[in-house]
Amino acid sequence: MPPAAGFTPKPTIKSKNQMASSWLTQDPSTWDRSQRLLHKLGAVQFLPDMNLPKFDASHPVPYFPIWKQWAWCLPRILPPIAVNWAVVKAFGSFHPVAAFLFYAAYLIWFALSTLALLQRMSVRYGVFDGQKARDGIPDVLSDKVFSSLLSTVTVRPLFATFFAFDRFELPSINPWAVVFQVAVYATVLDFYFYWYHRLMHEVPWLWRLHSLHHRTKHPQAALAPFADGIQEIGDILVIPLMTYLTCSRLFHINFATWWVATTMILFTEAMGHSGIRLYWPVPTTGLFLQPFDADLALEDHDIHHRAGWKKAKNYGKQTRLWDVIFGTSGQRIEGHKANIDYSVTVSPW
């Protein structure tokens, strides 16, 4: 049967052109719904008219201190906890369905704020391996990118509302303990993620589940959750659930602590795929692991993507601790210690 009048079928996906991205250079009237939403929401990190600064690999790399990352994140993370507290104080409870909708909507806002930050930082400081173009959001997989982003910011609050949320609890955070608890949570999560990720690189049939994520060699932040559906289940649900159940045996995790940990982990996942040319240590664990040279920095995961299948190192996404312990830590190319300019500290504002 011939297609209906006015209907233009999407091109068949072929492996050689699966990651081709030209839609942003086309007339916006030709964009599909996902492309229009991705553009309107500001989820695209690299736009065609951006003039990114370019640097040789030997040019010193500026430093983004961990305390400045926390200072940017916390004022954006804590308001829903205050709203939650006020609702319970006023009405005696916060219905779980309302809580899920509220926290999911807020997490979407936080994710979009993070993507906007990463776009601004890209324009200011350029990207690693800057002579190469960064990968765009694929023409034929824009729907997949959009659905992956949406799943990331909705499924996690859904399972946390079921496992961790107490509708009668006045949420509270111990400021002295939360940074340490978040670091423990992220380190445990990364232990599970490290082995899950490493096995996908070392076991051929598992690589087939992971290879879609590695189609991007120079990723952008919106491609962080972009993966095969089975891998998405592991990334978005299984690994976080295993982490929560493990950490709940180690210390009390109230919903507020889970919220801080999850938003900071989301921030880290986005920045780890952004490619921005900074010594940008992971905020969740870097404070504790920098003295042991086991901190993960932005460049580590960027190099991981360039390396591909069996040549890749640095399987961790929140730390390099497990890579150091199990002998899979790789060398940085531009952001190595001798090339970091600590006198140039950048700000997110």
Q: What is the pLDDT of residues 178-210, one digit of tens each?
A: 999 999 999 999 999 999 999 999 999 999 999
Q: How many other β-carbons are positioned within 10 Å of the β-carbon of residue 39?
A: 17
Cα distances (angstroms) measured from residue 63 to each of 7, 271, 278, 341:
51, 14, 6, 6
Delimit the domains of the chain by residue range. Answer: 70-345
Helix (H) or strand (E) holding 318: none
Percent above pLDDT 90 for the chain: 85
pLDDT (tens digit, 9 = 90+) per residue, 113-122? Answer: 999 999 999 9
For residue 231, name the pLDDT band (cuts at 50, 70, 90).
very high
Looking up tokens 């079928």, which residue turns up?
9
> pLDDT for 254-270, tens place per residue?
899 999 999 999 999 99
* Residue 121 CB partners (closer than 8 Å, separation 6+): 274, 276, 278, 346, 348
Q: Strands 61-63 and 340-345: what pairing?
A: parallel
Nearest Cα to Cα of residue 174 among 107, 67, 99, 260: 260
pLDDT digits (tens, 9 = 90+) for 23-46: 999 999 999 999 999 999 999 999
